Structure 1
Amino acid sequence: MKKIILIGAVALFGTMNAQTRFGLKAGGNLSSVSNLDDSKAKFGFYAGAFANIPIAGTFSIQPEVLYSGKGVGYDGAGDVKMNLDYISVPVFFQYKATPQFYLEAGPEFSFLISAKVKADGDSADFKDFINGFDLGIGLGAGYNFTSNFGANLRYVAGVTDIVKDNEGGDSARNGVFQLGVTYTFGK
């Protein structure tokens, strides 16, 4: 019985592995942080790799590993920005509505790699005041123009407070719109 289960698992993994497609993606971020006075959205970018794993007919799972630049700008005198750099690991469930168009949703696990405030050319590190882990929930859609090239739009809403030891204050949460392109290897 154990041999049959093992052979079945190997066959299933082999089938899934043969259908798995890998690719690269990159694009722009329009990010904000909730409950920060006088803040405004900031442009950044994201880039990384993904694997698209079919699980049943029109459904697939797409884990990704991305660099994602988030943060905010501030209104007022001078050019002031809070830059938050993350390694993000989204795990999205995709539904192919048509052969080219898909909808997606899922969690995004982000790990802080850098936190800096830049003001009028000067920069200060404030990583000690920002939580090292951020959880978000994302929704998106995409369109594959060919079997290799596509575009996608996604919004990820932060669930966790990014400020360490934020006692009594309103939670500060990341929010980011992403618009980008994808390249998938193979056919």
Structure 2
Amino acid sequence: MKKIYLLVTFLFISYSVSSQNNITYGVKAGVNLTGFHTDGGTNSDLVGFNLGGVAKMDLNKTFGIQGELNLNSKGGIYRLPLTSNNPEIRLTYINVPVLLKTHITQKFNFEIGPEFGFLISKKAKLNGETFDIDDVSSFDMNLNAGLSYEFEKGIFIQGRYGYGFTKLFENRDYKNSCISISLGYFFN
């Protein structure tokens, strides 16, 4: 119920803001290099995908706001002590990043802001067998930072790193770590 309430609130705010200001809409898709970060370090173990919609609004010549609604695959290798037989964890999220954009030049931007993730699928793969898993946090909070470049005719490219703050598993301190590279198109 909280997920639906948050999504409806986000859409209502987006609609309210769009009626008052010039908002540009678009779509994007790309690849994720994803893993877990722990006290022992950060790994990028898996390749995933990202796909979604984008809405941006310039506040002035220096700053803008960008909101997204994305489908993201994340995860990594769950390293078990004293064994080399470690499961591959695949987590799929609906992510809602809200980013402050700083226009370095007219087309080149720095982006930073929170990302709220809602888990929709959780699978593990071990010895060629795939199965559902339990005890994974259904909510994920990240801080995203990255760069984007807007080409002519609405095409854009963005690179971003997402640092997870949410402990994903009850018994281990694993958090998401994700490098995303996306290509997109703004319609307006």
The answer to whether the superposition gives a TM-score over 0.5 is: yes
In the alignment, which of 174, 178, 181 is matched to residue 179 of structure 1? 181
Larger radius of gyration: 1
Deviation at 1:13, TM superposition (A): 6.2
Contact 1:69–1:83 (Cα < 8 Å) also in 2:
yes
Deviations 1:56-81 (A, max 9, x none): 23211111000000011468867942
> Is the aligned partner of 1:89 residue 2:91?
no
Deviations 1:65-104 (A, max 9, x none): 0000001146886794210111100001101111110000
The aligned amino acid for 1:93 is L
- Unpaired segments ≥5 residues, structure 2: 1-16
Distance in 2 (CA, whole Å) between partners of 1:13 and 1:85 is 29
Trace 1:1-187 onto structure 2 (pairs within 5 A). 14-16=19-21, 19-35=22-38, 41-73=45-77, 80-126=87-133, 128-164=134-170, 166=171, 169=172, 171-186=173-188
Deviations 1:151-186 (A, max 9, x none): 00000000111113x3xx5x2110000011010002
- Taking structure 2 as the reference length, the TM-score comes to 0.81
Distance in 1 (CA, whole Å) between partners of 2:130 and 2:39 is 19
Distance in 1 (CA, whole Å) between partners of 2:86 and 2:39 is 16
Contact 2:32–2:181 (Cα < 8 Å) also in 1:
yes
Distance in 1 (CA, whole Å) between partners of 2:73 and 2:67 is 19
Contact 1:54–1:61 (Cα < 8 Å) also in 2:
yes
The aligned amino acid for 1:28 is V
Give the 3-state SS of the residue equivalent to 1:175 in structure 2: strand
Distance in 2 (CA, whole Å) between partners of 1:47 and 1:41 is 20
- Taking structure 1 as the reference length, the TM-score comes to 0.81
Distance in 2 (CA, whole Å) between partners of 1:115 and 1:155 is 22
Deviations 1:36-65 (A, max 9, x none): 98x751100000001002222321111100
Contact 1:40–1:74 (Cα < 8 Å) also in 2:
no
Q: Indicate the percent of aligned positions where both proteins have the same amino acid.
A: 32
